[in-house]
Structure formats: structure tokens, C-alpha cells
Chain A
Amino acid sequence: MGEHTYEILLAAAVASPLVSFWLLVFFGPRLGKPKAGWVGVLLGMGVPLIMGTIVMIGWWFFEDEASRAALTEHAFRWKWANLGAVAVDIGVKLDSLTVAMFFMVTFIAFWIFVFSVGYMKGHSDEVSGQCKYWRFFAYLSLFGFAMLGLVLSSNLLFLFIFWELVGLCSYLLIGFYFDKAFASKAAMKAFITNRVGDFGFLIGLMLVYFHLGTLDLDQAATRFAEQYASGTGIFASGFTMFGWSLATIMGVGLFCGAMGKSAQFPLHVWLPDAMAGPTPVSALIHAATMVAAGVYLVARVYRLMTPDALMFISTIGCLTLTLMALIAMVQVDIKKCLAYSTLSQLGYMIFGMGCGAWVAALFHLVTHAFFKAMLFLGSGQVIEGCHHEQDMRKMGGLRHKMPFTCWTFFVGVLAISGAGIPAMHIGLGGYFSKDEILAVAYTRSYVWGEGDFSKHEAHEGEHHSSTSTVHDVPVQLAAYQEHGEPEHADHGGAHESVDAHSSAPLALIFEHTKPLPKWMFWLAIITAYITPFYMMRCWWLTFMGKPRDEHVHEHAHETPMMFIPLVVLAIGTVFASYYLFRPLMADAAGAATAAPMVMAIDGDVHTPAITSAHSWLVYGVGFAFVAGFALAYLIYRDGLAVGDRIKQRLWPLHTLLVNKYYIDELYELVWVKGCVLLAKTAGFFDKWVVDLIFNLAAAITERLASFSGMIVDKHGVDGVVNGIAQTSMDVAGVASSAQTGRIRNYVLVTAAVAAVVLICLVWFGTNSGYSGARSFSALSP
């Protein structure tokens, strides 16, 4: 293939849903009901699926390990902007993980799009009597664009941008029936809860920006390793918080974003409410793809993690997987039950990431995406068939009416429960992926603490060249435990090496990384027993037994448009997961987990070479599904009676679980009421302090204004002007009073003045020798 062929194909696949989005936005209403949907299916996901498949086949079957590494290293980068001294690249992160995620997302999304064409026919006209059919597909296309862009980003900044975009799509689609109060509230709840996580993400992003001086994933990892080796940069900072170093805070901050999107324990509250959206949205966004983005993010920033950060991650994951599985046991709404099961499985993935089960967590992500998408679509089919009835207590006996849905759903139940034949390579999704996570957790909690690893490593070093850092640590360690000396298992091709190019010795990693607390491991094991119970309960109540509601049962039906995707996904669940996706993940692991401080651990549990290491675990967990199924069957085989009796016996526990540990109420009390209280306090402050100051200032200004207006202007300036006018008037009045209008007066005044003038003339003439006077005297005889 030519240069950047893969990148071009992938970029085209990302652009296609965007084109579809704009097409639907502008021409959606004109296209009408089925056509708009088909535009979404073909352009929105069909093209990406074709591209994804081509890339997948090319990448996996026509490239060898070396050429894949070269392609990863020379993947497309284009300098987009400079943020200060930091260059931001538009680029493609091209490795096996990207390819696997890309194929998984496009494949699942395509079939969910197809399902939506059928499902939304009856579900899209409910919004204020307007047809919103096209809008649904526009949103889905936009989501496709954002999700694929997220997977493809080589840069944390672009990852964040697409991250927010998928969050927006999630918001729009949860609130698709926005005229219903619960839907719009759920949308807001999801958006706001995600903001809390994204705040942490931003803090992590800023720390990466400031201390590592780059936002590129690979560059950041390289610099992190360099700084760790030299003790500079982020490791030179003495800043601590909650006993965490700055490097840990960076990792935890980035993980906070994942906590929001992947709905981990304190921020999990939005996901069950998100079921207010249409069922295909629940399947696509809130089960298969978007919620898994958090796990993907942790996988991508794995090289920036510290042991403390990973411990925090595993703690959160462990709490989530346990608490949510317990809630799932008492749910009666079919979608809510699946939602809590999703939360629990996401907890497994995050827990796995925290343990170091990088491959297993991502593998579980993919297998989970397949079967959970299928389960949700199945529930959508049920809800559609039963006229929007979601209460499992009213269902039952639907297997005759919906055979396809029933048995594909059962495949999903088997897969999520981890059904398989222990110690053999036969099983469904969770059998490989979940058990692998548990195997790694076992290694971390039991094997890790006991052996002296630095010695072990040194011992190992004698036999190997010093360049061979440990591959497949737990397997070796486990083997060491069992047989007393290190032994090299046949690794079967898929292994992580700890750190390809960092010089940090393995002993250092062991020294810093504490063993996993044992309670975490045991909680995960217990939950592995709970999972098959609640899934079987869900399936049995819905499809088996006798119909409990005649009305619902009578109307139940299924439509081909909707069960075909179910069948396809079921086949995908059965075949694709182990043989395709796990090798891809394992292939990506080498470079993607080359972290200086933490290590990824391979725990492939059911391959023959490793079985002996975890023998009790293999069977203990391997048969969990049987125990769970049996318990669910015993309780629910005759309807709800036994379940109700247990419920009454254990009412305090049941009440606690039904109310979801009162976490929503607690948040309502602390955050919502707290916000209101804060607002009220601020309002009080505003009213009594700020307003007081402002009113005082206003009063002073008013006084000043009235002083300058009344005193200065009115009496000063106006006074002068009016004074002049008044004076003129007064003078004129006085002067005009002489004008009496009586001629006699004029005559008298004239005469008097003339007389005075005459007298003056005579007087002065006499005294100053006026010639006229002399003439007079000359006249006198």
C-alpha cells in the first residue's frame, strides 16, 4: 500500500458520518421517513464500516509485526497550530488498538443504525407531534463522526474535543424525547455529571501541557519516561495533594474524565437515567461505544500513569463493579437492569486497567460492546413488541412470540456471564475477557506480595541477556510459585513486554507498585457470581416461565428489520471476539504500555500453558455462571413468588438496593440543595451587602447630582442668566415708567429740561465767558 493509505481510509471513514449529518440536517425533512434513515445507515455508518473492514483486513492479514510498527511510527501528522511553544498536530494514532476499536465501533454501530430504521418508525413521532425521524439519524451520524474521531486522535487535545462532541451527542440523544420532563432532566443530569469528570480531565490535560510540554500521546509518553529517568519536570515538583505527587494527580485527573464518561462509581448516576433515550441509543452510546471511551482513554494515557494513580483507578473500578452489580439484582425495568449491568462491566474494565490488565480490559471492552449492544437491541425489540412495556414483572413467556430475540438474548446472557468450559478454549466473550481480568487481579493481590521480585528479576537476568525485560510477568511468576523455579511458558505469540525502550528496571516497578488489596480481588470474584444471577433473572423473567400479563403477551411480536441485527451481533459475539480482537489488543500492548512506572500484565487464563498457574481460579470463576444460573432458575422458575418472599425477608437490603444506596438522594441533598443553598446565600449577600453598597453609592450620587443640579446649576448658572434678564426687565420697567403716555408730562419734562439747559448755559456762560452771554451783555443798552 502507498504511504498513508490507512490514514486516508480512516479519515474518509470519519468524514462520511459528518457528511451524512449535514445532509440530514439540511435535507432530512424532505427525505422523509424511511429514506432519511437509510442515508444515516449507508453514509453515516455503511461507508465507515467498509473502510474499517478494509483497514482491519489490510492491517491484520497483510502487514507483519515489523511493518505495523513502522506504520505506527510514521503515522500521519500535520502541524495544525502552536499553543505557545507546544505544537498541536492533527494526526492519526495508528496502531492495532485503533484498528480494533475502529472496526468494533463501525461494525456495532452499523447494525444498530439498521435496527434504528425499524425501531424509530414507531418511536420518533412522539415529540410534540412533529416528525423527528431524520433528526435521530442526524444525531446518530454526528455521534459516529465524534466517536470515530475520538478513536483516531493522536493528540490529547483532539481527543478532548471529540470527547466533548460525543458527550454532546449523548446529551442530544438522551433528551431526544425532550418534551417529556424525565428525558430532558436525564439529559441534563448526564451532561452535568460528565462536566464534573471533564473538569478533572482538563486539569490532567493542563498538567500534561505544562510539565510535558506536548499534547501528542506518544511524545508525552516519551517525555514522561525521560523525566522519570532524570527526576526532572513533573517529578521535580514537590507538590502533593491527598498524599499524591503531581505526576499521580495528572494521571488521576485524566482518569476523572474517564470516570465521567464511563460512569464510574461517584459519577455513575447519569447512566441509569440515560435510559430515557431511545433504546438504540442506549445500545450504541450508553452500552457499546461512548461509555467505553473512558476505558479507551485510560488505555491511551496508560504510559502517563503512576502506581498510585493505578491504585486509585482499580479502587474506583472495584467499587463500581460491585455496587452496581448488587443494584442490578433488584431492578425490574429491563433497560435499567441492563444499564446497571453495563455499569458493573465498565467497572470490570476500569478495575482491569487499574490492575495492569491492559489487554484484558480492552478485550473485555470489545466483547462487552458486542454482547451488550445485542442485549440492548433485544430489550428494544421486547419493548417495541410489548407496546412500550419495560417492566419485567409483566412479561414472561415471550419465547414463543419472539424466538429470535429470546435466543440471541440468551447468547448475550451467556457471554456476559462468562460461560465456557473452564480450562479449555471454548467459551463466549466474558469467559475470556473477564476471567483474564480476574487472573491479573489474582496475580497482583496474591503473587505480587509474596515473592521477592527484585531477586527474581536478578535471577532471571543471569539466564537471559539483560535486554530481555520480563515478558508475561504473572505467568512466569505464577510458574515460579508453582514449580519453584522460573519456567518459560509457551506464550502463544501474544505478550506484553514491560517497557520496550524505557530504562527503568523492572525491580523498581515492583518496589513502587504495591500489591492489590485482597478485598478488591474478592469483590471482583463475588461479582463474577452475581453477574450470571442477575442476567439469568432478567432473561428468565422476560422470556421464560408463564406469561404474567395477558395484554402484553398478546401483542408481542418481532420484526425482521430489528432481529436481523440481533442475529448478526450474536454471531459476532460467538466468533469474532477472542480470535480477532484479543490478538489485536495484545499486538498494540507492547508499545502502548511501555510505561516507566507501571506495567501491563498478561493474564491469558484459559490457554493451556497458563492453566496450571491459576488452577483454582480457572475453575472457581469458570463455573461461576453455572452457580448464578442455577440460583436464578431456582428462584424465578415459578414466577415472582419466591423472589417476593426473599424480598420480604431481606427487606432492609432490598430497600437499600432499590433506592440505589440513596446516592441520588445524597447528591440531591448535597449538590442540588447545596447549590440552591449557595445560590440563596449568594442572593442574600447580594441583597444585603452588595446592594447596600450600590444603593449607598447611588444615594451619594443622587445627592451630589441634586446638589450640582439644584444648587450649582439652578441657583448658580441659571441664576446668572436669569439675573441678567431680570435686571434688564427691572431697568426697562423703571425706564419705561417715564413713558406715561400723557402729553402734558412730556411737554412739562421737555420744558423743564430746556429750562435747566438754558439756566446751565447762562450760568456757565457767565462764569466761563461764553461768547453768547457776552453778546447778550453787548445787547444791553
Chain B
Amino acid sequence: MTIGVTHFLVVGAVMFCCGLYTMSTKRNAIGILIGVELVLNSSALNLVAFDRYMGAGRLDGQIMALFIIVLAAAEAALAVGICINVYRNLATVDVDKATQLRG
């Protein structure tokens, strides 16, 4: 059995679903952040896989993946900063408590 693009996509989908699940079930802000990382990485995996099998010598997907990694790093730094501020203000990182902007 040859490893094809489908396998990569399945792994990416599983990772995406895990990330999504983590995001929607975790109440801890850091946990949600981890879920976000999983979703980002699954999409990065998809890009790399498509580039490998359908790019025909082009590096578009690879570069996009690099972008995503940088973006994730920046996002993580930002999100952790938000988390710290949330903790400072509310003395918790439980996102269910941070509902001051609800309609």
C-alpha cells in the first residue's frame, strides 16, 4: 500500500477534529490555545501534503506552511498575553467566567 495524499488528509482531518473538539470542550484558556494549535497544524499538514503530491515542483504549500508556523507562534504569544491579562482581571483562566461581552 502506497502512502497517498488521502492518508495525509485523513491524519489532517483527525487532527483538525481533535483541535476542534479541544476548543469546544476545554474551559481552560490554555487548553483552547492548544486546540487552536492543533487546528493550525492540521491545516499546515494539509498544505504540505497537497504541495508534495500535486505541486509538481512548486513550493507554494511549503511556504504557506512556514507562514502558518510563524503565524501560530505570533498567535500563541498574543493569546498567552491575553490569558495573562484575563487572569489578572478575573483571577481565573476559565473562559466560561469571562462572559462580560455577551449580548
| Chain A residues within 8 Å of B, Cβ to Cβ | 733, 735-744, 747-748, 751, 779, 781
- Residues A747 and B20 in contact in the complex (CB < 8 Å), given A736-B103, A739-B102, A740-B99: yes
Give the residues from 49 to 103 in chain B that come closer than 8 angstroms, CB to CB, to chain A: 53-54, 95-96, 98-103
Query: In the complex the two chains form, is B100's CB within 8 Å of A743's CB?
Result: no
Closest CB of chain B to A731's CB: distance in Å? 12
Asked whether B44 is an interface residue with its Cβ less than 8 Å from the other chain, the reply is no
Query: In the complex the two chains form, is B23's CB within 8 Å of A742's CB?
Result: no
Across the interface, name the chain B residue whose C-beta is closest to A738: B103
- Which residue of B5, B53, B54, B95 is within 8 Å of A742 (Cβ)? B95
Query: In the complex the two chains form, is B95's CB within 8 Å of A743's CB?
Result: yes
Chain A residue numbers with a CB within 8 Å of B53 are 779
Chain A residue numbers with a CB within 8 Å of B95 are 742-744
Give the residues from 1 to 27 in chain B that come closer than 8 angstroms, CB to CB, to chain A: 4-5, 20, 23-25
Chain A residue numbers with a CB within 8 Å of B96 are 742
Query: In the complex the two chains form, is B102's CB within 8 Å of A779's CB?
Result: no
- Which residue of A744, A751, A779 is within 8 Å of B25 (Cβ)? A744
Give the residues from 21 to 47 in chain B that come closer than 8 angstroms, CB to CB, to chain A: 23-25, 32
**A-B Cβ contacts below 8 A, count:** 38
A532 vs B32: C-alpha distance when bound (angstroms):
139
Query: In the complex the two chains form, is B102's CB within 8 Å of A740's CB?
Result: yes
Query: What secondary structure prevails in chain A residues at the interface with B?
Result: helix
A739 vs B99: C-alpha distance when bound (angstroms):
9
Query: In the complex the two chains form, is B99's CB within 8 Å of A751's CB?
Result: no
A779 vs B55: C-alpha distance when bound (angstroms):
12
Query: In the complex the two chains form, is A742's CB within 8 Å of B99's CB?
Result: yes
Chain B residue numbers with a CB within 8 Å of A744 are 23-25, 95
Closest CB of chain A to B76's CB: distance in Å? 16
Taking A736-B102, A747-B20 as given, write out 17 further A-B residue pairs in contact, using a Cβ cutoff of 8 Å, ordered by the A residue number: A736-B103, A739-B102, A740-B99, A740-B102, A741-B99, A741-B100, A741-B102, A742-B95, A742-B99, A742-B102, A743-B23, A743-B32, A744-B24, A744-B95, A747-B23, A747-B24, A779-B5
Across the interface, name the chain B residue whose C-beta is closest to A775: B54
- Residues A741 and B5 in contact in the complex (CB < 8 Å), given A747-B23, A751-B20: no
Query: In the complex the two chains form, is A737's CB within 8 Å of B103's CB?
Result: yes
Question: Could you list 30 examples of A-B contacts with CB < 8 Å?
Answer: A733-B103, A736-B102, A736-B103, A737-B103, A739-B101, A739-B103, A740-B102, A740-B103, A741-B98, A741-B99, A741-B101, A742-B95, A742-B96, A742-B99, A742-B102, A743-B23, A743-B32, A744-B23, A744-B24, A744-B25, A744-B95, A747-B20, A747-B23, A748-B24, A751-B20, A751-B24, A779-B5, A779-B53, A779-B54, A781-B4
A737 vs B99: C-alpha distance when bound (angstroms):
12
| Chain B residues within 8 Å of A, Cβ to Cβ | 4-5, 20, 23-25, 32, 53-54, 95-96, 98-103
A737 vs B102: C-alpha distance when bound (angstroms):
8
A338 vs B53: C-alpha distance when bound (angstroms):
150
A748 vs B5: C-alpha distance when bound (angstroms):
28
Chain B residue numbers with a CB within 8 Å of A733 are 103
A738 vs B20: C-alpha distance when bound (angstroms):
20
Among A736, A747, A781, the one with the most B-chain Cβ atoms within 10 Å of its Cβ is A747
A355 vs B34: C-alpha distance when bound (angstroms):
139
A738 vs B101: C-alpha distance when bound (angstroms):
11
A739 vs B101: C-alpha distance when bound (angstroms):
8
A733 vs B102: C-alpha distance when bound (angstroms):
11
A781 vs B2: C-alpha distance when bound (angstroms):
12
Chain A residue numbers with a CB within 8 Å of B23 are 743-744, 747
Chain B residue numbers with a CB within 8 Å of A735 are 103
Across the interface, name the chain B residue whose C-beta is closest to A754: B20
Across the interface, name the chain A residue whose C-beta is closest to B25: A744
A333 vs B25: C-alpha distance when bound (angstroms):
125
A747 vs B100: C-alpha distance when bound (angstroms):
18
Across the interface, name the chain A residue whose C-beta is closest to B20: A751
Chain A residue numbers with a CB within 8 Å of B100 are 741
Chain B residue numbers with a CB within 8 Å of A781 are 4
A177 vs B101: C-alpha distance when bound (angstroms):
91
Closest CB of chain A to B87's CB: distance in Å? 16
A741 vs B103: C-alpha distance when bound (angstroms):
8
Chain B residue numbers with a CB within 8 Å of A738 are 103
Question: Which 5 pairs of residues, A with B, have the shortest CB-CB distance?
Answer: A736-B103, A741-B102, A741-B99, A739-B103, A747-B23
Closest CB of chain B to A328's CB: distance in Å? 109
Chain B residue numbers with a CB within 8 Å of A747 are 20, 23-24
Chain A residue numbers with a CB within 8 Å of B5 are 779
Chain B residue numbers with a CB within 8 Å of A739 are 101-103
A744 vs B23: C-alpha distance when bound (angstroms):
7
Chain A residue numbers with a CB within 8 Å of B25 are 744
Chain B residue numbers with a CB within 8 Å of A736 are 102-103
Chain B residue numbers with a CB within 8 Å of A742 are 95-96, 99, 102
